[in-house]
Structure 1
Amino acid sequence: MHEICEKDDVREFSRIYQPCIYSVVFVLGIVGNTLVLATYIYYRRIQSMTDVFLLNLALSDLFLLMTFPFIAINSVHGWIFGTAMCKLLQGMYTINFYSGFLFLTCISIDRYIMIVRATSARKLRLKAAYYSKIISVAVWIFSILLTIPQYVYSNSILREGVYLCRMIFPEDVTKTVKGLTNFAQVILGFVIPFLLMVFCYSIITKTLLVARNFGKHKALKVIIALVVVFLVFQLPYSVVMFLETTDFLWSRQMSCTESKQRDYAIIITSSLAFTRCCLNPVLYAFVGVKFRREVLLMMKSAGCRARSETLKHLEGHRTSKRYSSSTNMDTSSFTL
């Protein structure tokens, strides 16, 4: 006989924890990633494949951030947005999950070619913009294709008086489809990109140490920091997903305490994985000297425009007052 596992404490923790975390990440992430896009639009020329991939990475993060208000509301009130929105938001998360790792992998490979295979890189430089656009489109299409199970099986269901947004599989394909879906997230979205990143950056590090070119070290700081943060913040969630999938496939029965611990782990590690969306711009600001300079220029130009508009407004106000006083001296008695 199965024991009844009450999870009111888990739900209460989620109601408090998730809205707080997602609200902070949403605000910081929107501001930070918008600054990244603005610097590319107004100040920085897209000169390399890495620029294109970093731009797409910022877009990917923004798409994910758009789902955060819905997740925060869901943690408090349950899923009140219906099945169509459930499918859409589940899909948006999964697309970002895959595309984020894939774009970081593309950045790693591009840096490998530019530094380790410099001769080949010179030949490709003229067509770099064309190739980067083709690769970016391919990444987005591949990520969308991997998201098909989320669009097909995600539904809004009623559980214990509360609607939840979950992937609901038919009974005859439950284990196979769910197992493949979860393993695809872990293997295609983490293991393979991680191995490629380790390979590329280990060879790059060896090449830089031999060349003793410290200027290239500075250029790599932002990229390496982005990859490390992505791995550190995504790894715990990938491990939890892997363990949950193996338990499911092996039909492992868990005690109530173990089930609660798994739920806490999913809540905390998933929010940790989301947090990286606001950390990428922070890394730009602290590590990337060029980005920091461009943000300061943008703020100065915005301040100059604001002062210019204010001076014009004041000058116009003075002119109108002089005109008013010279044409009709009595109008001042009717103003407050």
Structure 2
Amino acid sequence: MKNITASTDDYGYTDYDYGNSSSYGDDAHGDAVAAPCSLKETWEFLGRFAPIAYILVFILALVGNILVLCVIRRYRQSRHSPCSFSLTDTFLLHLAISDLLLAVTLPFFAVEWINGWVFGVFMCKLAGTVFSLNVYCGVLFLACISFDRYLAIVHAINISWRRKTCHAQLACAIIWVVCFGLAMVDMLYREVVEIYGMNRRMCQVVYSQESSQQWQIGMQLVSLILGFILPLLVMLYCYLRIFKALCHATRRQKRRSMRLIVSLVIVFVVSWAPYNALRLTDSLQTLGVIVKSCGLNKVLDVGVLVTESLGLAHCALNPLLYGLVGVKFRRELAHMCKAALGPQGCLGLAGWANGRGSTIRRPGSFSSVDSENTSYFSVMA
């Protein structure tokens, strides 16, 4: 275990994630000053906020994503044809797995804010790696889903090609491998450090003094590009093209799809934009573009963790946004509930499951192309 003094510039060598504080005791040029910034009030607030936020996200994400996985498993078992499971279904499966793995790490960091890190160095490295891996994977799977919807609706890609799930499995495998490579930074550099003056141990990424600034800025830049900018650009392009294509349709189902598209983009931006904006501000401060101050550091300390919790809440919202909005998905969920609880236990679910999307689609219309190429758990279903 390494010791780090909270009142020195060394504490800036840890990157922002779940327990980092950037309250330095230095001036704009990084020279130590006599009176370091106080961390007490900041840590008192974070110690109250973080456990509640992490446990709440954990519970919601656990229930929602397990439900998605159960419905997908039931659907695959009830369909014997391999063609019945499409590309988007595969992406949704991997998204649910990623969000579930991410949620599983949150109780560890909730306990960290209550009693400090008590799980040892190995679990520190493992939990940090799993956390980072699935943050990256989750947003990239969202980009893949939007791209698949774009191909299906705007270009009406041949259904026999799109139903070959090996293409989606290959894309998912590449995403997992690339994101695991990025998450190896946590495996290599995470340590259990003791913060003097705070009387607690924290699981942090700790770089050497020689390479701290380069690594911190580099990883924050990679995180910003792969974890937000690239997925956002893909989603904006794909959904704008889908939105334009759907403007030619006047049916209620299409209007509902347009509202859903807008909701998907807005929720993603609201969830992750504030966190990445603060991370960018921290990088600019580290580079000296923004002058360091105790006030700004306290804002970053509190803001990064609060906005990170907002971003993590996205893994609890994904089952609602990408699963339960689909009529066919709700219908399958109702069947699963009926099989588990009996007809009397699922009163009222039948109407909810059928929803507004039960209108008959006529062959040859724009809707028929949409229907033919839309996956079982499609965003547009």
Normalising by structure 1, we get a TM-score of 0.83
Give the Cα separation in 2 of the matches to 1:305 and 1:180: 56
Structure 1 residue identity aligned to 2:173: V
Gaps of 5+ in 1: 308-336
Aligned residues: 305
Asked if the contact 2:246/2:258 (under 8 Å) is kept, the reply is no
Q: How has the CA–CA distance of structure 1 residues 251 and 169 changed in structure 2, closer, same or farther, with 3 Å as cutoff?
A: farther
Q: Compared with structure 1, are the counterparts of its residues 77 and 159 closer, same or farther at alpha carbon in structure 2 (3 Å cutoff)?
A: same
Q: How does 1:41-60 map to 2 (within 5 A)?
A: 41-43=73-75, 47-60=85-98
Contact 1:222–1:288 (CA under 8 A) maintained in structure 2: no
- Look up the match of 1:134: 170
Task: Judge which range, 197-206 or 227-236, deviates more.
Answer: 227-236
* Residues 174-229 of structure 1: per-residue CA shift (max 9 Å, x gap): 11111110110001111111111111111111112135565455567666644442
In structure 1, the partner of 2:368 is: none
Structural mapping, 1:128-167, within 5 Å = 129-160=165-196, 161-167=199-205
CA contact (8 A) 1:236 1:269 kept: yes
Query: Given residue 248 of structure 2, which amino acid in structure 1 is its aligned partner?
Result: V
In 2, Cα distance between equivalents of 1:297 and 1:221: 27
User: Paired residue for 2:162?
Assistant: 125
Does the CA-based 8 Å contact 1:3-1:256 persist in structure 2? no
Q: Which residue is equivalent to 2:348?
A: none
Three-state SS of the structure 2 residue aligned to 1:155 is: strand
Letter in 1 for 2:94: N
CA 1:222/1:143 → structure 2, altered by over 3 Å: closer, same or farther? farther
Secondary structure (helix, strand or coil) at the match of 2:192 reads strand
How far the C-alpha of 1:306 sits from its partner, in A, is: 11
- Specify whether residues 217 and 113 from structure 1 end up closer, same or farther in structure 2 by C-alpha distance, changes over 3 A only: farther
Alignment CA distance shift 1:221-1:291 (3 Å): farther
Partners of 2:263 and 2:329 lie apart in 1 by 14
Q: Residues 32 and 281 of structure 1 are in contact (CA less than 8 Å); yes or no, is this contact kept in structure 2?
A: yes
Q: 1:172 to 1:284 in 2, by over 3 A?
A: closer
Distance 1:216 1:51, change over 3 A: farther
**Cα separation, 1, equivalents of 2:166 and 2:43:** 49
- For residues 91 and 63 of structure 1, the distance between their equivalents in structure 2, rounded to whole angstroms, comes to 11
1:35 aligns with 2:35: no
1:289 counterpart residue number: 327
Determine helix, strand or coil for the equivalent of 2:38: coil
Q: Secondary structure at the match of 1:4?
A: coil
Aligned-residue RMSD, C-alpha: 2.4
Question: Pick from 176, 181, 190: which aligns with 2:219?
Answer: 181
Give the counterpart of 1:197 among 212, 231, 235.
Answer: 235
Is 1:7 matched up with 2:7?
A: no
Runs of 5+ unmatched residues, structure 2: 1-32, 346-381
Give 3-state SS (helix, strand or coil) of 1:97's partner: helix
SS of residue paired to 1:80: coil
Q: Describe the shift of the 1:230–1:13 C-alpha distance in structure 2 as closer, same or farther (beyond 3 A).
A: same
1:169 counterpart (182, 185, 207): 207
Q: 1:106 aligns with which of 137, 144, 147?
A: 144
The 1:148/1:211 distance shift into structure 2, 3 A limit, reads same
Contact residue 85 and residue 163 of structure 2 kept, 8 A: no
Asked if 1:61 corresponds to 2:99, the answer is yes
1:232-265 deviation line (CA, Å, top 9, x unaligned) = 2111111111111111122755322222111110
| 1:226–1:280 Cα contact (<8 Å) kept | no
Does the 8 Å contact 1:104/1:227 carry over to 2?
no
- Give the number of the structure whose residues are more often helix, by fraction: 1
Q: Is the 8 A contact 1:284 1:292 kept in 2?
A: no
Is 2:87–2:163's contact at 8 Å kept on the other side of the alignment? no
Equivalence map 1:212-251=2 (5 Å)? 212=250, 215=253, 225-250=263-288
Shift of 1:300: 1.7
- 1:303 alignment partner in structure 2: 341
1:272 to 299, 310, 313: 310
Report SS of the residue matched to 1:79. coil
